[in-house]
Every structure is written in structure tokens, then in C-alpha cells.
Structure 1
Amino acid sequence: MFAENTIILDNGASALKISQANTDIRILPNAIFRSKTERRRNFISNQIDSCKDYSSLFYVLPFQKGYLLNWDVQRQIWDHVFGKEVLNLRCPETNIVITEPQFNFTSIQEAMNEIFFEEYEFKSILRTNSTTLSCHQYANENQDEDCCLVVDTGYSFTHIVPYYKKSKIVDAICRIDVGGKSLTNHLKEVISYRQLQVMDENYVINQVKEDACYVSMDFYRDMEMCKLKGKENKVLRDYVLPDYAQIKRGYVKPLDEISSNSKKTKSQEQMIRLTVERFTVPEIIFNPSDVGIPQMGLAEAILHSISKCPKEHQPHMLRNIILTGGNCMFPNFKERLERDVRCLAPDEFQVFITQPKNPTTYPCEGGVTWSKTQEIQEHWLTIEEYQEGGQAACARQFNDI
């Protein structure tokens, strides 16, 4: 059974997703922030909630280009999360499931092993990928299926990972170098070029992206609509920026309040007008070449990954595609991807895509599900086994999961 002393830590490049025993999953920022108004203070992870002004936040991130490189920052965040303010863990009595990126570097894996065993002294650890946890959750929900293909579109990358009987088909894994960070950066550049200098406003523009952007089901039709004037332009939206006095978080103005008549605009509101940016930014995941990234789009990458799987598994992969990660929460994401994959897939095969209720926490849910089974017992590595076998024991234990 899932013990009280087991935690699941999905250690993403942008956010930590944590489940402790049977408590609700918590999502905390995986960063240290500095505010221009409170320069002397660092906000570690969820301490950012107490910041009064989110404008021009300076981010210090432990991850660079998808991999954990800044250990000092990550240690401060883990110390905060494991400490009294958040989880209040007694590490020597605790088991931990910790996620890492696909194809993680050996030096990073060894550093993680040392920190969790030698410094925090966890009772036992299991180091795996978030897609593996998603696979276990899906397998639990669909026990008659042996195959699944996990699409994990996160902060730094988008990975496509096929599984057969909960084992990765390593040679068929695909990666697209587009993630949430790329989309936010592109939106910052477009708004800064056309309207307002926002290159330092990571936090605010990320909210603009989440609140206003969507995936187009007909790209050229939406482009034509953006040429229209007034109420005929159904894409046009005004986004009211926060001033951190009256407005704590920005928001999209209702369509009926949009007007070229300045009398309808409150004098204290600072707004940006969004048209093509609303759908051209998420489009990068489907067509990375739009911004000069010479890679396949998501639908093509899925078919390419499936083509590298054994032929008898391919039809099963197509009907068991799972979407995880924050980017798939854009409106129309699932419908657009299902349509694009259907166009490329052989006619005789079914295409079915599952989007969980919360794609961001789905891997963490999978970790909880897996932890309740006897099957996980063989994958734990205890601190005694580490002390006896060192890094070689970790390499053997975590090689295939």
C-alpha cells in the first residue's frame, strides 16, 4: 500500500508537482525569483505568492535547456520544499519517487543520487521519467491495453515516448525542441516589436499566453479574419495588464467590450491588443519551421515515432495516445492534433487521443497509482544498497525505467 512516508516529486523545469501520501497534488514553481520592488529578498518557489509586484521579475532557474545544471539553486528549492514551510519531511524515514528528463546525462544522474542519499539521506529512491509515471496511470485506467504513446509537452521540450507493457521503446523516442518557454519567448518578441516593450516581463506574458492563446483549427481562415475591422474580427481581444494596485492579475476583456472608441477604456488600464498572436504562438508546436526550427511538427513526430515501433504494435499506439504537460491545455489542442494525426495515419487504423482532466499533474497521479502496487517494490533502491554498491547500483537499478 501507499505508505505515509512516500512522496512523488515530478521535478519539472518550470514547476514541481508533489504528492505526499494521499494528499492532493501540489504545484510549486521550480525557480528562485527576485522582484524589482524588493531587491534584497529572494522568493524561493511558492514564496512568490507573497510578492506584491510581479512586474520585471528576475528568474533564477535550476534547469537550462531542459537539464538540471544549477545545483545551488535546485538545492535551495529542495531545502525549502522538504523543510518546515512546505512538506516538513523527515527524509531518513521517507521513500521518494523523483523524475528526470529523457536521456539525462550520467553526471547529472550521479549528482542526484549523491544528493538524495548522502545529503538528504532518503530511506529509498526511485529515479524515473515523468512519461513512465503517465504510462503506469494510463495502464491502470485501461488494463486491457498493452501499448500507449505518451506525448509530454513541457517547459523546455516536447517528447513522444512509446511504451509496450510499461517498458519504453527507446529507439522510437522523438524530441521536438519546442516547449512552453519557447512559446512565451516568441510572444514576448512579437508584442515588444508591435506594441509594448515586454522582454523583461516573463511572468506576465506567460499569463497572457495561458489566458488568451488557442490552437487554430483553420489557420488560414483565422488569418483572413484578422484582416477584418471591428466586431467582424472574432479573433481580436484586448488584454488588460496588471498594475498590482487595483489589478492583481491581467485578464482578457469580454468581446462586447472591445471598441476602437477610447471613451470605453478606463484611463488607468494598460492594455495590449492581441490578434494573430493568439493562434500563431501555439502553432509553433505543430509547425516549428514557422520560427526557423528545422524539425518535424507534433503530428509528424508522432507518426515518425510510431513508424519505429514493431509493426504489430503500431495500430495500438495510434489509438492509445496520451497528452501530458502544460502546453496541451491550450483550447483545441487535442482536437487539432487528432485531426492532423488522422490525416497522416493509414486509413485502416483508428486514431484516438486521451487528454487527462489535468495534464500537468497526470504523471504525479501515475506515481501515486504505481506506489500502491507490489510491482514497484522491485524498483526501489534503499540507502543500504547504495552504501554497498554506490553509483553502479543506481545505474543497474534505474537503467530501464
Structure 2
Amino acid sequence: MATLVLDNGAYTAKIGYSQESVSVIPNCQFRSKTSRLKTFTANQLDEIKDPSGLFYILPFQKGYLVNWDVQRKVWDHLFGKEMFKVDFSDTSVIITEPYFNFSSIQESMNEILFEEYQFQSALRTNAGSLSAHHYFHSRPSELCCLLVDSGFSFTHVVPYCRSKKMKEGIRRLNVGGKLLTNHLKEIISYRQLHVMDETHVINQVKEDVCYVSQQFYKDMEVSQLKGGENTVVKDYVLPDFSSIKKGFCKPPDEMLFSGKYKTGEQILRLANERFAVPEMLLHPSDIGIQEMGVHEAIVDSIQSMPEEMHAHFYQNVVLTGGNTLFPGFRERLEAELRSLAPAHLPVSVLQPANPICYAWEGGKLLAHSPDYDEVVVTREDYEENGHFIYETRIVGKSSKKRPADFEVEQTTVVEYYN
């Protein structure tokens, strides 16, 4: 039986068969101002000739799946002939859901997967559990890891021990890629050009020019200097979707501080916005969000765990999600953790080669695991027992008690680290 792995994120869906490679596709529908009557789904975004003023129709709100009409249309597109040509009579599916998902959403998802699409078996789990499975598969000697998953809606900090998520250690920050893009739109609209309707373009600007500062106050001083002494400032050429299809940064030698450019080029000049926007991941209070930063949430999460586990969590902090791709994020987070962690404990922050698809790759490994048949729910199981069959078949099921295997292997692991 073929296994389809679907990491169903709030902004992108990572999908592919377990024997093949992954495809990253927008998990939403679009309408453009030039063709208001037509709705584009998922990767049909490429068909829109003028994406300026693009209107997103998202199935997720605040991290939870609430618009089933949009989600069905996206899934119909992904599962249909244009994309993966899924044969539901001979396919199993691994699909992700948010942490602390509502039971009503879970029940609806079960009904759609088994009753509408008629998959032969399904596994509904958290993306972090798949990432943890991937991590422990690549590092079998490790007992613990702490996942930082910074996505579109939220940033989650989740401790795992032997692939079991420690529920009491989960921390959620209401800071994600959507908030960062919206804040950048507000700054640019206030200082230079009204771009509040240009979510698609400004999201690209954010990905192209933003970075996490290693010395925030020093970079702030540099960004206020004049002329060539200002090494922070960047000039970004906005797309016009005729001659310029995609925006780009001007090379440093072509930047003109007089502000005179080629006719037809529309320029955004970005200075402290480049590092002030990603700084919200570490200091949400800068814009009035009274929450911990990522580094503080990590320390708080680890402190809630048994003391003998602390060293293993600090040494195995794993970054996943699109926001971890900001240049300098890993180095800054490691430095911030080093300043907060006990001096005798080593700190190591690890960034996978592809943090966006790390959970999907974990699902791919799980699909080929001999344990897969034990955790998956078959269509027959569901028809006989209903929604509650999932309570006994869940990957990364939380455990409030200290795992017994941690105590048994503690001596060996301490010797390994020393």
C-alpha cells in the first residue's frame, strides 16, 4: 500500500509519497485584483500574471483549521489528477495537526479522510512528533531533544524524550511568519509606500532582506549613519510583473544614496526594518506583545522538566519551520541561550538542512518503519470504533511521568556526554 505524507501547515502544505520527494505547495486559495471572479488554488498561483494586491483565502485561522470549504478544495486539487493522482483504495495517509487541536476539528478530519476520500488507513499526528522521529532516527544515541517549530501562526517549543512529547513542557508564542509580514507592511506603509494590500510582495521582501542581528544596538547605530558608512541599508527593487517578475536587492555598488534610479524602477529603501522585524521572535514586547521570547520560552520549558534531563535538552535544541531560515537566527538563539543556561551545561542549537520539510521527512521515515502498522488507524478500525480509536493510536503521545527508559539509561548517557 502506498503512503502519502501530508504536513498540512497553515501557510504551505508539504506533500509527497513516501517513496518520492516532497513538494511544497501553498495551502490556500487566491484571488487577484485583475481577475476578481476567478479563484486560484494552491500552486495555481503561478498562473496569476499580476500578483500585486493578491488576496489570500486561508483554511487556517490562528493556527487551527476552521474553513473546511477552502481546505477541501486544496485537498481536491492536491489529491486529483493534476497533482498526485491518489488511488484512495490503495493509499494510507500521514497527516499533521496543530498541538492541542480541538476534538471537533479532529472528528471532522477523520470523517473527511475516511468517509469522503476513503483512505484505507490514516495517522493524524503533530508535525513536531514527526520531526522528533526524524531526529532520533538520525541520532539513535540521543534520549531527548527540544523542538522549536516557528511557523506561519505560532512558534512552539516542545520537549521530546524517546519520541514522546512531554506535554507539561510545551510552550506557545503568538509570533509567527504572518505577524512578521504584517508588521513589515505597517512599517513600510508608514515610512515610504502604502503596501498594506501587498502581502505576497512584502512576504517576498521579508524573505529576501531580513536577518537576525547578532548585536542589535550596534546595528541600530550603523543603520542611522549616512552614505557608504551605513552597511545595513539595502535598496529593494519591487516587481512590476511585466519587465520585473520578481523583486531583488540592488548590488551595493549600484546603490545611489541620492535616490535617483532608472526610470520605471520602484525602490524600497530598507534599513533597521531588516533586523527589527525578526527581532520580534526574541523580543515580542517590542511591539506590545507581552510574552516571552523564543530563548526565554526554551529555558522555561526545560526548567519544567526533571533536572537530570536539562543537560540533554540544552544540547539538542532543533530548529524547524520557515522563520528559522532568517540568516543569523541559529547563532543569535544559541548566544541568548548560553547567557541564560547554567554555566556548567553545554548548549547546542541545531538547524537541519531543510527546516521547512524536516517534519515531512520524519513522516517519510515513519512510513517505512516496522512500527507504522501499530500506530496507524485502518478504515475498518474507524468504522467499527469511531473517532475514539485515535486515542490509543497516536505517535508522540504525551507523558506526564518521567519515562522509565530515561532512568534506566541515565548512567550510560552521562558517560557518553562526558
TM-score, with structure 2 as normaliser:
0.94
The answer to whether the Cα contact below 8 Å between 2:18 and 2:367 also exists between their aligned partners in 1 is: no
Determine whether 1:239 maps to 2:239: no
> What's the counterpart of residue 106 of structure 1?
103
Amino acid at match of 2:159: P
AA aligned opposite 1:148: C
Aligned partner of 1:118 in structure 2 is: 115
Q: How does 1:1-400 map to 2 (within 5 A)?
A: 5-263=2-260, 265-398=261-394
TM-superposed deviation, 1:21? 2.9
On the 8 A contact 2:131/2:359 being kept in 1, the answer is yes
Q: What is the deviation of 1:257?
A: 1.2
Instruction: Give, as a single letter, the amino acid of the residue that structure 2 aligns with 1:237.
Output: K
* 8 A contact 1:147–1:320 mirrored in 2: yes
CA RMSD after TM alignment:
1.0
What is the distance in 1 between the residues matched to 2:308 and 2:395? 26
Which residue type is aligned with residue 377 of structure 1? D
User: Number of matched residues?
Assistant: 397
Q: Check conservation: 1:157, 1:177, Cα contact below 8 A.
A: yes
Structure 2: runs of 5 or more not aligned: 398-418
Q: 1:241-268 CA deviation, whole Å, 9 max, x = no partner?
A: 00000000001111121112344x1111
Unaligned regions of 5+ residues in structure 1, if any? none
Does the CA contact (< 8 Å) of 2:213 and 2:279 recur in 1? yes
Q: Give 1:19 shift.
A: 2.0
Contact 2:95 2:122 in 1 (8 A): yes
Contact preservation (8 Å) 2:129, 2:395: no
| Mapped partners of 2:200, 2:224: distance in 1 | 30
State the AA in 1 paired with 2:297: A
SS of 1:267's equivalent in the other structure is coil
What code does the residue aligned with 1:28 have?
I
Q: Tell me how far apart the structure 2 counterparts of residues 282 and 217 of structure 1 sit (CA, whole Å).
A: 12
- What's the offset of the Cα at 1:375? 1.7
Instruction: Tell me how far 1:162 sits from its aligned partner.
Output: 0.3
State the 1:400 CA deviation.
5.3
Hey, which bits of structure 1, 4+ residues long, moved more than 4 A?
Answer: none
- Per the alignment, in what secondary structure is the counterpart of residue 59 of structure 1? strand
Q: Once the 2 structures are TM-superposed, how far is the Cα of residue 399 of structure 1 from its aligned partner?
A: 7.9
**Within 2, Cα distance between the matches of 1:222 and 1:185?**
23
**Partner SS for 2:82:** coil
Distance 2:89 2:376 in 1: 15
CA contact (8 A) 1:149 1:320 kept: yes
2-side partners of 1:391 and 1:298: how far apart? 35
Conserved 8 A contact 2:7-2:13: yes
Shift of the 165–192 alpha-carbon distance from structure 1 to 2, 3 Å rule, reads: same
1:161, distance to aligned residue in structure 2 (A): 0.4
AA of the residue aligned to 1:186? H
Is the 8 Å Cα contact of residues 124 and 383 (structure 1) preserved in structure 2? yes
What percentage of residue pairs aligned between the two structures are identical? 53
Give the Cα–Cα distance (whole angstroms) in 1 for the partners of residues 368 and 18 of structure 2.
Answer: 10
| Equivalent AA in structure 2 for residue 44 of structure 1 | T
Q: Specify the SS of the correspondent of 2:37.
A: coil
